[in-house]
Amino acid sequence: MKNALWQTVLGEIELSVSRASFITWFKNTELLQQNEDEITIGVPNVFAKQQFEVKFNHQIAEILKRNGVKASRINYVINSQQNKKTATRSTSVSGNPASPASLADAMPPVSQPKASSRANSLNPKYTFETFIVGSSNDLAYTACMAVAKDPGTKYNPLFLYGGVGLGKTHLMQAVGNEIAKRDPSTRVLYTSTEAFVNDFLDCMRYKRKWDASRYRNVDVLIIDDMQFIAGKERTQEEFFHTFNALHQANKQIIISSDKPPKAIPTLEERLRSRFEWGMSIDIQSPDFETRCAILQTKAQLGGFTLSRETVEYLATIIQTNIRELEGGLNQLLAFCEMRGTDPDLQTAQGLLGNTRTTRPHHLTPKQVIEKTAKHFQLEPNDITSPKRDKHIVVPRQIAMYLLRSELHLSFPKIANELGRKDHTTAIHSVEKIEKSIKLDYIIRQQITDIRDKLYV
């Protein structure tokens, strides 16, 4: 934690010294103690200490005085805590095929500050107990439980993918929390891909040495939103090495992404194949029952009881995204708490009905066909034409499926919209797509994308 006073001092000093010397000297400094007339400042090493005592002391005292702090003495101490953090026990990975038994294994454990479980940046809120299992995510749930029981042995790496707000982060963090609970000495690190990328880029920008230990020095590495690594070649290379180091040492790796490894653009082949090495599991949108269960659990956690109609109503109007579902519920609960009313169906309808109409009335069959065509870079005419080229047939079937699922048109009406005489074509198409959705990730993704576009 940076102290506000010290921030002020840093802010002023930054203006008066060069960027390079600011980074060299003032990075990793902090105000440790502030007494009546004594101030203690922690600095990273002896060189910095000397520099502060001789060169910056006067300036710092002046700024402190200007900010109303009368310190007759400023002490500088070497604050080795940061160094200690990186100096925790780790496993060396040897490239030798026949690696020698490690002395470290035989070494009696040296008393070292145990990495606190909070340093792993896991959110304790996310546990398996609070995760609602339904048919859309039970496979992922089971795999995660298995990993939590036996990290590093069963599914390594575990790759979870699925759309936004479907519980990837929850599941991953639950694994981390569970492992940390079972054996508190396990070092679990949860990080986002973005943090990894930024960390790496910073090192390159300031020509610092890349501190790989932060990521390699763990027993379980959980890394979220892997799709953001796309196109960042150097980072991919670094991640590749980190991945190998951990995997070789049988350390568990858990990765999430919004797409399967195959569908992440510009992902290097060697990374892609590694991601597919262990287990890749898809988390799908929750079905109606799961959504109801989620709402009921969340309401209970908040100390409310919802009637079945209210739950069903909410689950009907918000279909795809659990985050939105929770948002809707929170909105309802907050409203009721303020008004002192019960969260019943009417309040829910009044509150959420206008913002989240179940079927936007302005959506016409024509728009559905247009947007579907546009998604596949076709002309609407192609879809309604009698052509039977393969690249048109699938979009046409998808359009029919969407007309059925989104607008609830009758089959003869669907056939009519697409210039087909026979309504059995429409029945066949809808059935075919329904089947493909279950089997084919690409089709599923495409339909979700088009559906999102319909309601923009």
Partner 1 sequence: MKLTVTQENLNRALQVVGRVASGKTPLPILNNILFRASNNRLFLAATNLELAITQHVGSKIEKEGSITVPAKLMSEFVSNLPKDNVELETDGTKMQIICGAYKSTINGMAPDEFPELPAIEEKQTITLPLADFKRAIQQTSVVASADDTRPILTGIFCHTHDGDLFFAGTDGYRLAERKLAKTTQQISAVIPVSTLSDVLRVMNDDMSEAKLVFDDNQVRILLDDIEVTSRLIDGQFPNYRELIPKSSDSTVELPRDEFTRITKVASLFARESGGSVTLNASQDGGKINIHSVASQLGENTSEAEASVSADGQVTLNSRYLLEALNCIDSKQIVFRFSGKLAPCVLTASGESPNYQHIIMPLKS
Question: Residue numbers of the site for partner 1 (CB under 8 A)?
Answer: 19-21, 23-24, 45-51, 53-55, 78, 80, 83-84, 86-87, 89-90, 92, 94, 96-104, 106-108, 110-112, 206-207, 209, 211-213, 216-217
Q: Are 217 and 186 in contact (CB under 8 A)?
A: no
| Cβ 179 to partner 1 shortest distance, Å | 21
Q: Is the CB of 90 or the CB of 445 nearer to partner 1?
A: 90
**Residues facing residue 191 across a β-bridge:** 223
| Cβ 240 to partner 1 shortest distance, Å | 17
Q: Is the CB of 109 or the CB of 340 nearer to partner 1?
A: 109
- Intra-chain end-to-end CA distance of the chain, in Å: 42
Q: Is the CB of 214 or the CB of 432 nearer to partner 1?
A: 214
Which residue is it, tokens 């145990």?
114
Q: Is the CB of 94 or the CB of 142 nearer to partner 1?
A: 94
| Cβ 406 to partner 1 shortest distance, Å | 54
Q: Which two tokens stand for residue 173?
A: 């963090």
147 class by beta-carbon count within 10 Å (0-12 exposed, 13-18 middle, 19+ buried): buried
Q: Is the CB of 113 or the CB of 350 nearer to partner 1?
A: 113
Amino acid present at 391: H
| Cβ 83 to partner 1 shortest distance, Å | 5
Q: Is the CB of 3 or the CB of 57 nearer to partner 1?
A: 57
∠ CA 430-436-437, rounded to 5°: 90
Q: Is the CB of 211 or the CB of 452 nearer to partner 1?
A: 211
Q: Is the CB of 92 or the CB of 358 nearer to partner 1?
A: 92
Count Cβ atoms below 10 Å from residue 361 Cβ, excluding itself: 7
Q: Is the CB of 201 or the CB of 301 nearer to partner 1?
A: 201
| Cβ 186 to partner 1 shortest distance, Å | 17
| Cβ 201 to partner 1 shortest distance, Å | 15
Count Cβ atoms below 10 Å from residue 230 Cβ, excluding itself: 15
| Cβ 151 to partner 1 shortest distance, Å | 20
CA 241 to chain CA mean position, Å: 22
Q: Collect all residues with Cβ–Cβ distance below 8 Å to 331 and sequence separation of at least 6.
A: 351, 352
| Cβ 172 to partner 1 shortest distance, Å | 24
| Cβ 216 to partner 1 shortest distance, Å | 6
Rounded to 5 degrees, what are φ and ψ at 184?
-65, -15
How far apart, in whole angstroms, are the C-alpha atoms of residue 302 and residue 315? Answer: 18
How far apart, in whole angstroms, are the C-alpha atoms of residue 64 and residue 8? Answer: 9
Element holding 292 (H helix, E strand): helix 288-301
Short-list 411, 302, 300, 295, CA closest to 352: 295
How far apart, in whole angstroms, are the C-alpha atoms of residue 140 and residue 33? Answer: 48
Which residue is it, tokens 């003869």?
412
